[in-house]
Amino acid sequence: MEIIVHDTPRVMLDLVGLPLERRPGALRDMLAPMREAIRMPGDSVDIHHGGGGFRVDRDDDRYAPALRRMVDEDVRGQVEGALTAAWQYLGDAVPGIKAPETLQVMMVLGDPDDEYLMTTAGGYYGMGGAPGWLYLLVWPSDDVIGRIAHCAVHELHHQVRYQNVDWNPVTVTVGEHVVAEGLAEAFVRELSGSEAMGPWSGMVTGTELDRAYDKIVANAGLAGMQHTPGYVLGDAAMRRFGQEPLGIPDMAGYGVGLRIVDAHLAASGLTAAASTVLPGADILAGAGVAVSARGDEA
C-alpha cells in the first residue's frame, strides 16, 4: 500500500495569508483531490465549514500560529511514519491481509470556536470510510498535537478492516460499527500504549457507560447505516445531523466497543491486529454478546 500524506499544513499556512476573497478558492483547490474521490452534494467550502473546519470567510489570528506549529513539529511526517509502521505491523500479524493500493491523507485545521469539535470530539477526529482516503480534522492544542498521528492509525485500521470484512450500508449493523471503533482504538493501544488512544472511549464511564452498554447491545443487530451513528456517536451528533437523538451519551459507542473488544481479546487470546479481519459478529460472540437478528430501538 502506498501512503500519501498531503502537505496541507504548509498549504493552509499559505492560504491564511492570502487576501480574504481568495481563500475560498484556495481551499477548494486544496480539497479537490479528495472531492473527486468522495462525491458529496454542495460546495466544498460550505461542507468544510459545516463540518467544523477553519473559517475562510473571516480573519482569525489564531490560525497561522497553529499551522506554523504543525509545520515546525512535522505533524505530516509523524502521520506518515505512524501509518507506515502500523501497516507493516498489520502485514506481519496477518500475512496476505488486503488493503487499498493507495491511501491518501487530507489533514485539515479545525475551527477552535466549533463546540462540537472542541468539546464533544475532544479537539480532533478522523474519517476513514471512503476507500483510499483518510480525512483528519484537528485543532493542534497541547493535548492534541501529539495524538494526531495515532488518530490516523485508528482510521487506517478502518481502511484495512473493510478491505477484508464486508461493509454494506444496507446490512451493516450497530454491533459491527461499535466493534469497529473499539477495535481501532485497541489497535492504537497495542501499537503505542493506552496514552496514545483518543479521548472518545473514555468519555463515558461508570453507571452511565453501563446503561449505554445495555442499550447499544440490545440494538446490536439493528441493520442499516442510517441507524449506526446514533449508537456510536451519541445524541450531540444526531442533533448536529438534524436527526432524532436516541438517548445515547456522546461518544458512548467507543467505550462500549472497547469493552466488547477487550472481552473478545481476553477470551480468544488474539491480538487486536489479528482480529482486524474478523467480522463483528464473531467478535461479539467471542465477547459473550448475544445478538438478535434485528435489534429493537430502545
At position 170, the amino acid (one-letter code) is: V
> Model confidence over 233-281: pLDDT tens digits?
999 999 988 899 999 999 999 999 999 999 999 999 999 999 999 999 9
CA 25 to chain centre: 27
Q: What is the pLDDT of residue 253?
A: 97
Of 77, 64, 86, 55, nearest in space to 17 by CA: 64
Low-confidence residues in the chain, pLDDT < 50: 295-298
Q: What is the pLDDT of residue 41?
A: 83
What is the CB-side half-sphere exposure of residue 128 using CA atoms within 13 A?
25
DSSP 236: H
Q: What is the pLDDT of residue 297?
A: 43
| Structure-derived torsion over alpha carbons of residues 67, 69, 72, 74, reported in degrees to the nearest 10 | -80
CA distance 190 to 272: 7
Of 271, 274, 279, nearest in space to 96 by CA: 274
- Mean pLDDT, rounded, of the chain: 95
Residue 165: φ, ψ to 5°: -120, 140
CA distance 225 to 153: 23
Q: What is the pLDDT of residue 218?
A: 96
CA distance 255 to 201: 4
Which string of DSSP letters, residue by residue, matches 185-215?
Answer: HHHHHHHH-GGGS-SGGGSS-HHHHHHHHHH
Cβ(256)–Cβ(213) under 8 Å?
yes
